[in-house]
Structure 1
């Protein structure tokens, strides 16, 4: 395979400070950020020296915590510490998945505007949208990069980013993620599918053999699962088929173990109610997450819960863990089989199977996949970092395009050609209740679909276009995205007026729609909409308010850090004056 090489691709801002593009994996359980340095991908450690940062955000009356600090604060204030928020972004409060998850979280969810989800922080008596919590995480990752690259000449500008999303994220979830980035002050170079990012890393590091390859990426993370089949031929990555579940991952495996351990606790400690006790719920959750991790290395582990005089200990075997999650593991394999069918491929035609995501370390998952495919899966050395690495490589190429335009003589390595596909069919609700598909699932993006519709009633003066996303025959069984109206038709018998509807999906997977009058109306009259406007997306006023709130928290953090530094300097001076130590 030809060498896919990403160069350092910083650019200057007005000829002054350096601007460095970054790649961010905004994960359910962890976030990871990278940048190109000396021609190599540099995964940037956080202030604690760790290369991945917990996706936690917490609040008190005085402070905001993000990452490691927020996870530590969860012990003291679980109702004001938010995590796994990626599972809420772009969703409705009444969604089945939201209702199910809410039962195992200790923070409170409420119904927000347009039926969306908000998170309630009792400590500050305030509601937060999932976009705002995600924005706090993105700001934190941005600051990690800024501090890493700060020199004596000052801090670089970090504003351009490639942010990854699950391939199976729908339109609303993608737009909400983009809104979160806007709130964080980031310019989104691209919303990149996570499996594509992983495949780019494997190609960049020359893991694949030379020649055209058919690659299946199995990406099982903390809260989402993607299967992506693509062809890789030197610089060209072409998506063929997608399958997955945007609500399946390590958090679900944790939940099964938590339910089992809670039931055993109730059985062995009469009168206890661990599901209703905040401290016990937290202890059981933390112990079960660690047990899951341990069982990827060991065949058995012990869960120990301190509870006053009623300490609890339970042996968990790998076989028991597998039994508790067997149906979820099978769902993963079903998705692989569905992707193969959609791609019209046999398993023998797949040349490489790639494992990505922390939950792909589970031995039973690896065994099931190897038995199905007849291939030993390729495991990235850093499964938690692969997606961020791919996003970083893509960010460098994206910015290289700008620098090439600004400085035409500058040499730029050939960029990879990435072509992803639409994860769900997109269509309209017709009068008979059936969905008219304009863009079928697995169409290469950017994509466009058109159809001509006529009035269905006499004297009809407007046409309403309800938009849905999904694979079911009847529109009501699919995901409603929104609607828009084309008005101004002259009253006429049914079927005499018509309009052409066009759906477009851009390279980030975001949908827009246009209807243009053809007959019975002002020639060329149109109506257009970003479909997500009606699917609970934040209004301009909400966005402005949230941007102000996040900036205020950032300002307070900087002020608190400055005060802490001043106190430290005073203490250090006082200690020096009181010490006999001579400083030379």
Structure 2
């Protein structure tokens, strides 16, 4: 689900209703022609009839250069483009409701999104013709909403389990500040996986009852089963049992599912969240006794088993005072008002919070081992969970007399093993002539409030700047391609 929020003149955030009169818009895109797309409930309702033209859960594919959605017209759409259609529809709907154009935006992202996925999200905003003021982590946005609405001081653990991603964030919240201590997550874990588990179970039972054995190989039947299983998942948050009815072959089959069966299906996924939560606290050096409140965010936290897990882990009942589907958007709206006011030298309406986030990924550089110049290692410069914005300097040395260049490879990931990290960019940097072996070169790496990385290299021998390391980001679109997509967006009808 997606939503748009604004802050009124009194300083309170509220959700903006879409053209259908609802505050939540399904994050679904339907391609109805070469130059026309539909977004939201209409697109979702058409998924069963037009599965080859319908795409959802695109957030999981952001920054994936190997993924494209090809519709039935054989038109290719990159994840950045699909996300841009969603953003454009949300902005246009908000503009209609507010009676004025929407241009400046703050966009939320999973806390565990890396540099590539954040850059892809920023590119999507540009393709949509929007001016991105800031990216903010979703758990942080939820905590901002909590802090503004309730103002309770203390340490809060935000457990954010949505449709496609999972984040866990530990933070201190007070009447005037929100400071993140540590964050972790899994960008491929959420309600979508619960739906898939239900679908597999239903398909197996239908086969046992004499229906098609390859039920999920038919895209139309798959779309129908997914829709029924999504409804069943919702039912099981309220009822102890439900029935999924599926037409297969010449018969209709009714598959009964109990809450206990569903909880058994999703237990491996919930265990993965448990491991991440416990690992976060251990890495941060915190115990459950030091956590004052547990804040469940995201639609999947309505599932009783999720809330039971949180109570088991923490020893306290989850704090349900914020809306699981709305808290992130309301917090982002509060932050947007602050950022816009700061950019315009004005004053934000209502209560302001000082927001301090942390890095979700470690950033480093490839270096040679001290005892073996042929061995390459990853050297972490900015460690995960460092407060941002951050700037760290590290000095390295040349390996040969009169060395004329160095190859700078910036990395993202944990540990020294090079095969376990991502190479963000590789760029040669020319060196001045006459440097001795072991000449010092100083790397300055920074991490901005959007979670994007910047780096510069300095020659300490001659006290001069050698230049900025351009992050070409091979997994992302280049600027020319983004502009092409932005121009193409102007020709699209998005509704």
TM over 0.5: yes
Q: Which residue of 2 aligns with 1:114?
A: none
Is contact 2:211-2:249 (8 Å) kept? no
Q: Which residue of 1 aligns with 2:445?
A: 503
Distance 2:487 2:367 in 1: 42
Is contact 2:204-2:213 (8 Å) kept? no
Distance 1:369 1:307 in 2: 39
Give 1 or 2 for the bigger CA radius of gyration: 1
In the alignment, does 2:484 pair up with 1:545? yes
1:75 aligns with one of 45, 48, 53: 48
Residue 473 of structure 1: how far off its partner (Å)? 3.0
Report the count of equivalent residues.
487
Q: Which residue of 2 aligns with 1:153?
A: none
In the alignment, does 2:239 pair up with 1:295? no
Distance 2:208 2:144 in 1: 50
Is contact 1:489-1:497 (8 Å) kept? no
What SS does the aligned partner of 1:76 have? Answer: coil
CA 1:530–1:51 in 2, change beyond 3 Å: closer, same or farther? farther
Q: Which residue of 2 aligns with 1:561?
A: none
In the alignment, does 2:117 pair up with 1:146? no
Q: Which residue of 2 aligns with 1:578?
A: none
Structure 2: state its 5+ residue gaps.
369-374
Summarize deviations over 1:10-68 as a string: whole Å, max 9, x none. xxxxxxxxxxxxxxxxxxxx110011234232211212222111111121336321112
Q: Which residue of 2 aligns with 1:59?
A: 31
In the alignment, does 2:60 pair up with 1:119? no
What SS does the aligned partner of 1:433 have? Answer: strand
**Correspondence list, 1:200-279, <5 A:** 200-206=144-150, 208-209=151-152, 212-269=153-210, 272-279=213-220
Residue 485 of structure 1: how far off its partner (Å)? 2.1
Is contact 2:405-2:430 (8 Å) kept? yes
2:58 aligns with one of 85, 104, 107: 85
Residue 523 of structure 1: how far off its partner (Å)? 5.2
In the alignment, does 2:465 pair up with 1:516? no
Residue 324 of structure 1: how far off its partner (Å)? 1.4
Q: Which residue of 1 aligns with 2:371?
A: none
Residue 471 of structure 1: how far off its partner (Å)? 1.9
In the alignment, does 2:11 pair up with 1:42? no
Summarize deviations over 1:351-393 as a string: whole Å, max 9, x none. 1111100011111111111111111111245211110011111
Is contact 1:355-1:380 (8 Å) kept? no
Q: Which residue of 2 aligns with 1:397?
A: 338
In the alignment, does 2:2 pair up with 1:31? yes
Residue 490 of structure 1: how far off its partner (Å)? 2.8
Summarize deviations over 1:312-352 as a string: whole Å, max 9, x none. 11111111111112111011111111111122111001111
CA 1:146–1:86 in 2, change beyond 3 Å: closer, same or farther? same
2:127 aligns with one of 183, 191, 195: 183
2:279 aligns with one of 309, 318, 338: 338
Distance 1:412 1:318 in 2: 45
Q: Which residue of 1 aligns with 2:112?
A: 168
CA 1:489–1:255 in 2, change beyond 3 Å: closer, same or farther? farther
What SS does the aligned partner of 2:111 have? Answer: coil
Q: Which residue of 2 aligns with 1:440?
A: 383
Q: Which residue of 1 aligns with 2:419?
A: 476
Q: Which residue of 1 aligns with 2:372?
A: none
Residue 483 of structure 1: how far off its partner (Å)? 2.0
User: What TM-score, normalized to structure 2?
Assistant: 0.93
Distance 1:44 1:357 in 2: 18
In the alignment, does 2:392 pair up with 1:449? yes
Q: Which residue of 1 aligns with 2:468?
A: 528
Residue 148 of structure 1: how far off its partner (Å)? 0.6
What SS does the aligned partner of 1:490 have? Answer: coil
What is the RMSD computed on CA atoms of the aligned residues? 2.0
Residue 85 of structure 1: how far off its partner (Å)? 0.6
Distance 1:305 1:457 in 2: 70
User: What TM-score, normalized to structure 1?
Assistant: 0.80
Is contact 1:484-1:527 (8 Å) kept? no
Distance 2:176 2:377 in 1: 41
Distance 1:498 1:319 in 2: 63
Residue 530 of structure 1: how far off its partner (Å)? 4.5
What SS does the aligned partner of 1:471 have? Answer: coil
CA 1:271–1:71 in 2, change beyond 3 Å: closer, same or farther? closer
Residue 457 of structure 1: how far off its partner (Å)? 4.3
